[in-house]
């Protein structure tokens, strides 16, 4: 399942991405808010998305705020989450192949809808490559969550 959330600053980009994901990529997407463009706090959307993603290893999440940083910080506080900033197509690919990232955080200020869609597409179509060194690193990170 793909979960998506944004604060007010990411609302417009999120709305466009949801349409793209459903109509162009034919994906099932669960939108966990915000549902209107009124001032709010990114944490109120990052945490529900992160908790939903953490329930199943196959789940993925997209979070959007002004810079992407606030959402990313909040999501990474949830056990089992490996969130990263989606700054480029190559960066999204590396986040998946090298670090098995399960949530992509986006900046509504820095990305056009077209660029954000391309980054998200690459993130969703890329698999983790489970090399021994990468698995070892993930286990070390998981120990920090205990």
User: CATH number for the domain including 13?
Assistant: 3.40.1400.10
69 counts as catalytic: no
> Domain of 63?
2-144
Query: What tens digit of pLDDT does each residue of 17-76 get?
Result: 999 999 999 999 999 999 999 999 999 999 999 999 999 999 999 999 999 999 999 999
Say whether the peptide bond before residue 85 is cis (omega within 30 degrees of 0).
Answer: no
User: Based on the structure, what is the number of domains in the chain?
Assistant: 1
Q: What percent of the chain has pLDDT over 90?
A: 99
Burial 65-74 (b: 16+ CB within 10 A, else e): bbbbebbbeb
Choose, from 98, 115, 121, 137, the residue flagged as catalytic.
98
- Residue in the block written with tokens 């992509």: 104
98 counts as catalytic: yes
Choose, from 2, 65, 92, 111, the residue flagged as catalytic.
65
Q: Are strands 29-31 and 60-65 parallel, antiparallel or unpaired?
A: unpaired
């Amino acid at each position: 399942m793909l979960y998506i959330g944004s604060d007010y600053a990411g609302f417009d980009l999120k709305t466009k991405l949801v349409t793209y994901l459903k109509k162009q990529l034919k994906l099932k997407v669960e939108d966990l808010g915000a549902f209107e463009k009124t001032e709010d706090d990114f944490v109120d959307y990052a945490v529900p998305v992160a908790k939903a993603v953490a329930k199943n290893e196959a789940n993925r999440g997209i979070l959007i705020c002004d810079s992407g940083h606030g959402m990313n910080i909040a999501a990474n506080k949830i056990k089992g989450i490996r969130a990263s900033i989606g700054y480029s197509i190559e960066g999204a690919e590396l986040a998946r192949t090298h670090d098995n990232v399960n949530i992509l955080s986006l900046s509504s200020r820095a990305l056009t809808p077209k660029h954000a869609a391309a980054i998200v597409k690459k993130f969703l179509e890329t698999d983790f490559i489970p090399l021994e060194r990468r698995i070892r690193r993930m286990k070390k990170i998981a120990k920090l969550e205990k």
